[in-house]
Chains A and B, each alone.
Chain A
């Protein structure tokens, strides 16, 4: 498999706080990769660095052979990397269809932007179909439910025709039903795209993840299948807090 994304020796420091330390991270083309870790592990920071929102202190991020560091956000999008946000951001004044259409237009020549939209572009129709938003096409995005907004965001991403999708906690705040639907959507999307998903939800992870990367305090902790990762004692420690060790020490001290 070809390596699509290579992160090497990445360091991110926010005014003294080390958000990411010496991180190496590789994703191959066609992969569906889950990125997990406790709060403050550096998951979102990593996504922010890849998409140009955060400038790292040192390191390199290469995408399909191109160095991403130093590029502006919209340039990175034009290279074929799309992302969603934890808090879904859609344009509430515009309809679902207009939101999707806008996401699909950046490859058009500027002149065609001056014309009115007529009809529906293929990638917009596909995005509506796969996300199940076709019925809501003429609704302003402001009236969508939380789950629908997340799907719209994913749809907007698909309409951009990116090669790498970065989804930041796509099921946060969703109902059980919505999670299941999002998982199915994810499976469909992953068939044709390389996807990186940041997720907290362990149940969701067990159901839909194949390869998992665990981050902890800005470092790579381990990488493997869901079963491997769950069996790793370091992961258990990180996720359970240090209660077992701490309590053992407390017992030792007491005796």
Chain B
């Protein structure tokens, strides 16, 4: 045979996941279970009903953050309008709850105040609890699919997509505020008493609702995690790093991106629907440009390349917001901005990236690098290449579901310039 041929090592031992220590393999699931126990068992016992409500609110934002982590961290879609999907889910739920406790004539309170005399046709189907639940997911997903196919097929991406998604959030708010009689205008929907049989003024029932939120967050996290480590997740990372190259793998990148975008929209919708009973109101201020950006900032600070980082960031930033806003609302804005700038400059992978670096450094110290690869190729021995961040050479690792993807902004996305160069080469 020829020099280019090397033997494939034993397939059972060779290219499968490299042997990992048991403790490292179980670290991720252990963290998941520990946080889950903390939220389910400890938090309700320790926190006052008021604080537990706040935590429930943060957890709703964390559900959105999981979706953003998928769309932005994995798929590279900087979505500045996630509030739209949050709002679609929230209003679908809010409309149903308002109809449930509507006063005489079957009209929600704000319609009576605005002088609306009969229930608008748009509202009628939301009286059905199953329809409302379905709409919580279907509305945001449908909007995301239509927008995604339209925009991604036209190869709109990067900053253009970000601006477009933000404009969508702005337009949505204007629409909501303008239709006072239909949507409650600036005030939004308020005064919720019941949620599918739960009395929202009873601490016990509220605690149950909180547990529902925790369970949904856990489910969404596992869903996103499974998606990330599946072939689809790898395809998504490939689209992020070289969209034009992916076409030559036989895939339409627009479809891949649209699926991820729709999943993130669905998660935001579910989060919005839980936010309504948890917080007791939903207004355009909860889903406008500022709210959408705050969701994103939480993910950026926590670490967009890590689902756990996205969740942690959302919880941390919203907790900090509450703490600092209790003293002075103005200071919080500056502090949030400063945190965002600092993270973007010094830690673009966020807190999760810092944690991953720290873990890798500890591991590195414990075990000096001795893994050199006997490559069958003479030049450019990869073992001599020290530029790869420690740990990135590891295979997909269930214990570290998230930090194996290095940020796109540290390594130039390779596909776009290369193909562009191809296009321009001959005629030049």
Contacts and interface: CB of A to CB of B under 8 A. Distances in A.
Interface of A: 14, 17, 19, 40-45, 48, 51, 53-54, 72-74, 77-78, 82-83, 85-95, 97-98, 101-103, 105-107, 112-117, 119-120, 125, 128-140, 142-148, 151, 156, 160, 168, 175, 177-178, 180-182, 184-185, 187-188
Interface of B: 2-9, 11, 14-16, 18, 226-227, 229-232, 234-235, 237-238, 241-242, 244-245, 247-252, 373-382, 385, 387-388, 392-396, 405-406, 411, 414-415, 417-419, 421-423, 425-428
27 contacts: A53-B423, A72-B252, A74-B248, A74-B250, A74-B251, A87-B418, A87-B421, A91-B245, A97-B15, A98-B396, A114-B231, A116-B231, A128-B8, A128-B15, A132-B377, A137-B14, A138-B18, A142-B406, A142-B411, A143-B385, A144-B380, A145-B379, A148-B377, A175-B378, A177-B378, A184-B2, A188-B4
Contacts of B9: 134-135
Contacts, number: 221
A73 B248 contact: yes
Contacts of B252: 72, 74
A175 B382 CA distance: 16
A90 to B, nearest CB: 7
B280 to A, nearest CB: 37
B5 A130 contact: yes
A116 B422 contact: no
B8 A101 contact: no
B378 A19 contact: no
A177 B14 CA distance: 27
Contacts of A125: 8, 11
A187 to B, nearest CB: 8
A19 B426 contact: yes
Closest 3 CB pairs of A and B: A145-B380, A106-B250, A137-B15
A148 B54 CA distance: 53
A129 B3 contact: no
Contacts of A112: 231
Contact of B247 (A73, A102, A132, A133): A73
Contacts of A132: 3-6, 376-377
A129 B193 CA distance: 66
B233 to A, nearest CB: 9
Given A129-B7, A136-B375, 17 more contacts: A53-B423, A91-B238, A94-B234, A94-B238, A112-B231, A116-B229, A129-B5, A130-B4, A132-B4, A135-B374, A135-B375, A136-B382, A137-B14, A137-B15, A145-B381, A175-B378, A177-B378
Residue of B6, B377, B394 with most chain A CB atoms under a 10 A cut-off: B377
B209 to A, nearest CB: 31
A48 B422 contact: yes
A95 B249 CA distance: 16
A57 to B, nearest CB: 13
Given A132-B6, A160-B250, A85 B418 contact: yes
Nearest to A187: B2
Contacts of B235: 102, 105, 113
A55 B374 CA distance: 45
A147 B238 contact: no
A134 B14 contact: yes
Given A14-B427, A135-B373, A113 B232 contact: yes
Contact of A143 (B14, B18, B387, B417): B387
B411 A92 contact: yes
Contact of B379 (A72, A94, A98, A178): A178
A136 B385 CA distance: 13
A182 B251 CA distance: 27
B361 to A, nearest CB: 19
B419 A53 contact: yes
A181 B1 CA distance: 12
A134 B15 contact: yes
A175 B422 CA distance: 23
B251 A106 contact: yes
Given A54-B423, A74-B251, A114-B227, A134 B8 contact: yes
Contacts of B393: 138-140, 143
A19 B381 CA distance: 40
B408 to A, nearest CB: 8
B249 A103 contact: yes
Contact of A92 (B229, B241, B418, B421): B241
Contacts of A168: 422
A35 to B, nearest CB: 12
Contacts of A82: 248
A151 to B, nearest CB: 7
B245 A89 contact: yes
Contacts of B427: 14, 17, 19, 40, 45
A145 B377 contact: yes
Given A74-B251, A85-B418, A116 B379 contact: no
Contacts of B388: 140, 142-143
A90 B237 CA distance: 12
Nearest to B398: A116
B81 to A, nearest CB: 26
B11 A51 contact: no
A175 B379 contact: yes
A96 B385 CA distance: 16
B8 A129 contact: yes
